[in-house]
Structure 1
């Protein structure tokens, strides 16, 4: 058994290393000279270290800090509100004594097959709801996701209904049952869906592009995309000719990698807090009694 455990741990360690190598390569490339990347390609060990890519991106640090703050705020608010709505909808869909249960389930499933489209969604958010150029436009459209609701529903269905009935006999109301009994048991599902929501909000740039014109409301991803587009423009033959940039080395490939580091780095510190709940979620239902 011990020898088998050693083999399994070695295999898992090797797999973890393979998963880590791409990120190491990204960090290394972000520290390389642009000419070295063009001549020698990507390398785990830069031939010449430089922070030029980070210097270009951090040229306006206040704007970057502001974008981080906006993204963090949107992620926290959107995830918290979204989890509450997702859990409540999923809980209602699991209650067999609720007469509108099937209608709500159909409505949730229907939105997975059909949506309103881009133009109606834009009109709804910007004109009817008046959320254009407000922070609400950055998280309200993603508050309820049908797939997340069905994922949460699948977990809540595994909770014995006898717990709810026992709580009712003891005099607990619906809200107290949901908050005191259902939510604590559903921590693995909440953590799983919560991580998906965090990644969704953190990586989003689409809503900023559609609804935000004010620079102080740019999210991190959208700001980095704008910086990348500016660098690519400055690296064109037209810009170099008419802006006298022929002798200037403009990092584009290394800057792209540096942006990946700045965008993905914080998420690496989030996952460990959810890891134990993922393990519990994988083993739910494996042991009865």
Structure 2
């Protein structure tokens, strides 16, 4: 096992444990709000990871009592013109799309509160592990700012009625409710969060990175297609996947009853 700790500016920490990179939001005094600087730092780190063939899975975590409180409302208040607000929301959208399009799976490691764009951040990740005490909310309606961009990720993860209830009331939901709705993939005891998330990331990182990349991209593309188009697309993906080195190795290893040796290509 190799462990590397690095600082990434004043907003993030990064810990690499073999082929798993953990990005830690590190502005607990600001409730890890998604300021323009925080979003810039996150986007830059993800861009670096996207082309790093040694990293096969990513964990997104946070320091302090809150996972992420969403947009920095003080920053929003200081922007006095429409173009500035448009640029900030576009920056947030670009960050969420970068998570979805990242070649490596991204797992949110959630504790405390994840609200508004912080809830959007969780919904944008491929998987999310949360503590029993975690809470999730889209409370913008309570301050006259409907959570319209968080709605995009939220409504692609949970049922319409559940999404609308969260958006229209602003009420927080528990981790168990979030799991039942499909917003998160796992609920664990508070003291098990890091271990369970790391084990999950390592299990995924042990697979063929090229196969996981193919599958992640295909998942998000097919899910928006009509049924017949989705099957046509998925069939073409599987056909291309069959031609890869790792598919040949994996099938051969299964037939020969031995562990595969991945080349990640």
State the TM-score, normalized to the length of structure 2. 0.26
- The structure with the largest alpha-carbon Rg is 1
Higher strand share: 2
Higher helix share: 1
TM-score by length of 1: 0.24
